Amino acid sequence: MNTPPGVLHTVNKSPFASASLESCLRHLSEGASLLLIEDGVYAALTGSAFSERLATAARQHALYVLGPDLEARGLAGRPLVDGLQIVDYQDFVRLAAEHATVHAWF
């Protein structure tokens, strides 16, 4: 029997308005993944104050950003932090189903 990956963490707040992303990054454990959604997608841009932290996390964890939320904020096509994978809503559902737990950071 295959063991599902650990926790899928979702961050929906801008890292410039909330400490949710910082808290989440401190709590990523082995097997955990991170999905940036809604205003959390602002952290995915290269050159942000969070670029280096996300790039470091991407070396040990799967990191995703929701493409439709990038598009909704006019950020589609902008350079993203290395290691981030753009996903769509179908992928979001698949990731939630594949992980043992989903933890939303508010």
* Average confidence (pLDDT) per 10 residues, the chain, 106 residues: 78 96 95 97 95 96 98 97 97 96 95
Q: Write the CA distances from 26 to 9, 54, 68, 71, integer angstroms.
A: 12, 11, 27, 28
pLDDT at 2: 56
Structural domains counted in the chain: 1
pLDDT at 106: 87
pLDDT at 51: 93
Q: Is residue 1 part of a domain?
A: no
Q: Is residue 2 part of a domain?
A: no
CATH of the domain at 63: 3.40.1260.10
Q: Which domain holds residue 21?
A: 7-105
Task: Read off the pTM.
Answer: 0.94
pLDDT at 3: 58
Q: Is residue 11 part of a domain?
A: yes
Q: Is residue 34 part of a domain?
A: yes
pLDDT at 98: 94
Residue 69 CA to residue 37 CA, distance in Å, equals: 6
